[in-house]
């Protein structure tokens, strides 16, 4: 019995058991089919999500040698060109020739993206340097998407860049989100007026009408920079209204594609839904797969593919997602009866399909995408890798869980860069010189230790990839500074993107004390003040907090990034005014290394493990 046959037998057997747990709302990877029924229409849904500008592919963990790369790609797995080639191959296979057993004679394909189509970093820097159409737009246009959802990273560079990314499609792909109001941003409203940003989209496939409802995470204001784009958090109400409207218009096949940051959010939403046939989630990066599904070395399945949840009408709904970086093309094969009711899925073909340039499933990348996208991006990055901006006498720790849970020397370096840049730019922008700085751990993205030796311009992009600008927040009350620090250690000892690296001060905290509680996604509305921070002392010796109590005195001026200043990661700045000072945090880091440190990072200034700026005392 083949691996795929084994998988099919296991899932079919699980179908009977699934009936025992339907009342729980969410079930495992079990089939919804109670008895065989001949389908009238089979829909192949091909989907990607969270491509995040990984245009050149990924390496895997090196644990398996699968032979030579079959094309001239620089990395064995993923890549935009291979994804395009694979999508073309699967679309052709879905509709040509005799239908596989269990599928209808009438078959169609829907290809979509779940959002987070690009991400700041050296690859996207190449796009920004090039201009419209961005390389990412060209790659996605070549995918032949019927539509794309709008994720959170689409707004990292602000709404103008979101609009420019969409411009690159020249009106060929609608961007779908039913809970975003873009009327406050003229560049995006222009797309809404032209029908390239819509709440829902109906695609006619082989005479069948398939409706798609899009949703974007309500956390958008605290995880990105949407500025005047408003987000409605009533996800179930919005989805149900649009599902009812589509049904009233005669659309009897309805998909929800939602970018909610965690597949468990989609699973929790389904019990509130009515009239939705399947849910494609995005933003969480989860790997869903079954036994026999070929994965990239180092990837491990977290749960089965698909998951199932029971909606408000008692109907079982398949829920799927895949991880990003062009590594997998998700495939959900739905069988419908003549009334548009899902009567089952094709167990054999419903799976994540690996994108690989090696091994038995290797595929050669699309030549046009390789020439027009990947090669110029690679050339741009090669130039960054050759530009040395400093020499470091010490290894610099930017490992994800470390910068999100404790002081590290790279965290200190990044915080000092903000403080230095804030002071350098203060006079020009008419703001006081900052005394301290805070850098959210989630904004340090290289997830590695940079070894001793040269630090390149490419390294600075890897560390600080977002389009966040250094911002100065004047006259911050001391109690607010304390609660900002409380936000940083609220999740300690667990890792959190809100954990902050600091400059210009030292502080201690006690995890046995009350952690700060904020209203999630509120931009920093405090529900319960934190009591963990015990001592805070500025570098000039000024005591801000002693024995857990704020010491009366003048306010403090803070340098941070504009994402944090506006309440990103729910930092409780309380709406204090701030001024961006004309330099990104990546630019601040590069200039601090070259000018502030004269190209030398010493072990004395930045010892491994930090220098005691942040100290847990319990």
- pLDDT tens track for 320-334: 999 999 999 999 999
Three-class SS state of 191 = helix
- pLDDT tens track for 260-272: 999 999 999 999 9
Residues in a beta bridge with 213: 200, 256
In a domain, 480, yes or no: yes
350 and 433 housed in the same domain: no
Q: Which residue has the higher pLDDT, 467 or 88?
A: 88
323 and 401 housed in the same domain: no
Res. 30: pLDDT tops 60: no
Give pLDDT, residue 122.
Answer: 86
338 and 395 housed in the same domain: no
Mean pLDDT of 565-586: 91
In a domain, 19, yes or no: no
Mean pLDDT computed over every residue of the chain? 92
In a domain, 15, yes or no: no
Mean pLDDT of 469-479: 95
In a domain, 69, yes or no: yes
345 and 430 housed in the same domain: no
In a domain, 561, yes or no: yes
Q: How far apart are CA 587 and CA 327, in angstroms?
A: 30
Tokens of 9: 């037998």
Q: Please choose, from the candidates 450, 453, 463, 451, the residue with its C-alpha nearest in 3D space to the C-alpha of residue 391.
A: 453
Residue 13: pLDDT band by 50, 70, 90 thresholds?
very low
Mean pLDDT of 280-303: 95
Give pLDDT, residue 35.
Answer: 53
Q: Which domain holds residue 105?
A: 25-378
Give pLDDT, residue 61.
Answer: 85
332 and 404 housed in the same domain: no
374 and 395 housed in the same domain: no
Instruction: Give exposure, 387-415, as e/b (b: 16+ Cβ within 10 Å).
Output: eebbebebebbbebebbbbbbbbbbbbbb
The string of DSSP letters for 298-320 reads T---SB-SSEEEE-TTS-EEEEE
Model pTM score: 0.78
Which of 378, 408, 423 terminates a domain? The answer is 378
Give pLDDT, residue 548.
Answer: 97
597 and 517 housed in the same domain: yes
Give pLDDT, residue 63.
Answer: 84
Q: Please choose, from the candidates 187, 237, 241, 191, the residue with its C-alpha nearest in 3D space to the C-alpha of residue 211.
A: 241
Which of 319, 347, 378 terminates a domain? The answer is 378
Report the share of the chain in percent with pLDDT over 70. 94
Res. 10: pLDDT tops 70: no
Mean pLDDT of 290-319: 97
Report the share of the chain in percent with pLDDT over 90. 85
Taken in order 227, 233, 239, 241, the sign of the CA dihedral is negative
Mean pLDDT of 180-186: 97
Count of CB atoms situated within 10 Å of the CB of 306: 28
In a domain, 505, yes or no: yes
- pLDDT tens track for 351-383: 999 999 999 999 999 999 999 999 999 999 999
395 and 495 housed in the same domain: yes
Residue 2: pLDDT band by 50, 70, 90 thresholds?
very low
Q: Which residue has the higher pLDDT, 246 or 522?
A: 246
Provide the domain count of the chain: 2
Mean pLDDT of 135-162: 95
In a domain, 11, yes or no: no
CB burial of residue 48 (10 Å; 0-12, 13-18, 19+): buried
Tokens of 418: 């903000």
358 and 314 housed in the same domain: yes
Which of 358, 378, 398 terminates a domain? The answer is 378
Tokens of 109: 């394909």
CATH number at residue 372: 3.60.21.10
Give pLDDT, residue 222.
Answer: 67
In a domain, 20, yes or no: no
88 and 203 housed in the same domain: yes
Alpha helices in 506-584 (DSSP H): 562-565
118 and 256 housed in the same domain: yes
518 and 411 housed in the same domain: yes
Give pLDDT, residue 174.
Answer: 98
Beta strands in 182-294, from DSSP E residues, in sequence order: 197-198, 200-205, 208-216, 230-231, 253-259, 278-282
Give pLDDT, residue 33.
Answer: 46
Least confident range of 3-12, 107-116, 333-342, 347-356: 3-12
CATH number at residue 426: 3.90.780.10
């Amino acid at each position: 019995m083949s691996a795929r046959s084994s998988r099919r037998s296991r899932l079919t057997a699980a179908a009977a058991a699934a009936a025992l747990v339907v009342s729980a709302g969410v079930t495992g990877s079990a089939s919804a089919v109670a008895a065989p029924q001949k389908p009238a229409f089979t829909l192949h849904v091909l989907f990607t999500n969270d491509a995040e500008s990984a245009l050149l592919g990924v390496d895997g963990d090196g644990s398996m040698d699968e032979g030579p790369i079959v094309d001239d790609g620089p990395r064995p797995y993923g890549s935009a060109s291979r994804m395009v080639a694979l999508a073309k191959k699967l679309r052709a296979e879905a509709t040509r020739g005799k239908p596989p057993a269990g599928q209808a004679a009438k078959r169609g394909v829907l290809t979509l993206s779940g959002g987070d189509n690009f991400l700041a970093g050296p690859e996207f820097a190449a796009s920004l340097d090039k201009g419209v159409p961005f390389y990412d737009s060209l790659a996605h246009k070549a995918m032949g998407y019927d539509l794309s959802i709008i994720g959170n990273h689409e707004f990292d560079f602000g709404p103008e860049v979101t609009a420019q990314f969409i411009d690159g499609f020249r009106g060929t792909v609608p961007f779908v989100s039913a809970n975003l109001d873009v009327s406050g941003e003229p560049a995006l409203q222009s797309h809404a007026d032209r029908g390239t940003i819509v709440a829902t989209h109906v695609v006619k496939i082989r005479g069948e009408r398939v409706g798609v409802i899009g949703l974007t995470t309500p956390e958008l204001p605290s995880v990105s920079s949407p500025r005047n784009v408003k987000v409605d958090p009533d996800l179930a109400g919005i989805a149900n209204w649009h599902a009812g409207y589509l049904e009233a218009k005669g659309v009897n096949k309805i998909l929800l594609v939602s970018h909610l940051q965690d597949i468990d959010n989609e699973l929790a939403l389904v019990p509130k839904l009515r009239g939705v046939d399947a849910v494609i989630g995005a933003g969480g990066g989860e790997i869903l797969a079954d036994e026999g599904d070929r994965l990239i070395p180092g990837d491990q399945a977290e749960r089965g593919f698909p998951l199932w949840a029971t909606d408000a009408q008692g109907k079982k709904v398949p829920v799927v997602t895949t991880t990003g970086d062009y590594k997998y093309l998700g495939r959900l094969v739905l069988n419908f009866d003549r009334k548009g009711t899902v009567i089952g899925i094709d167990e054999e073909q419903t799976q994540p399909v690996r994108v690989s340039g090696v091994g038995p499933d290797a595929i050669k990348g699309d030549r046009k995408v390789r020439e027009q996208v990947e090669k110029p991006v690679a050339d741009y990055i090669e130039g960054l890798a050759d530009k040395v901006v400093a020499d470091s006498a010490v290894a610099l720790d930017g490992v994800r869980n470390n910068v999100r849970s404790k002081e590290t020397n790279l965290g200190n370096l990044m915080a000092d860069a903000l403080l230095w840049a804030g002071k350098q730019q203060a006079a020009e922008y008419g703001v006081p010189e900052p005394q301290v700085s805070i850098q959210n751990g989630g904004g340090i993205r290289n997830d590695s230790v940079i070894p001793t030796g040269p630090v390149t311009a490419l390294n600075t992009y890897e560390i600080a990839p977002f389009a966040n600008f250094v911002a100065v927040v004047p006259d911050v009350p001391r109690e607010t500074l304390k609660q900002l620090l409380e936000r940083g250690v609220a999740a300690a000892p667990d890792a959190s993107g809100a954990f902050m690296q600091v400059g210009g001060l030292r502080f201690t905290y006690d995890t046995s004390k009350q952690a700060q509680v904020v209203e999630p996604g509120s931009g920093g509305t405090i529900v319960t003040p934190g009591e963990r921070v015990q001592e805070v002392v500025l570098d000039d010796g000024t005591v801000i907090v002693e024995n857990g109590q704020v010491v009366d005195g003048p306010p403090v001026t803070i340098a941070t990034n504009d994402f944090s200043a506006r309440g990103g990661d729910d930092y409780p700045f309380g709406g204090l005014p701030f001024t961006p000072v004309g330099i990104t945090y990546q630019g601040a880091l590069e200039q601090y290394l070259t000018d502030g440190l004269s190209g030398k990072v010493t072990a004395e200034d930045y010892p491994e493990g930090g220098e005691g700026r942040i100290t847990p005392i319990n």
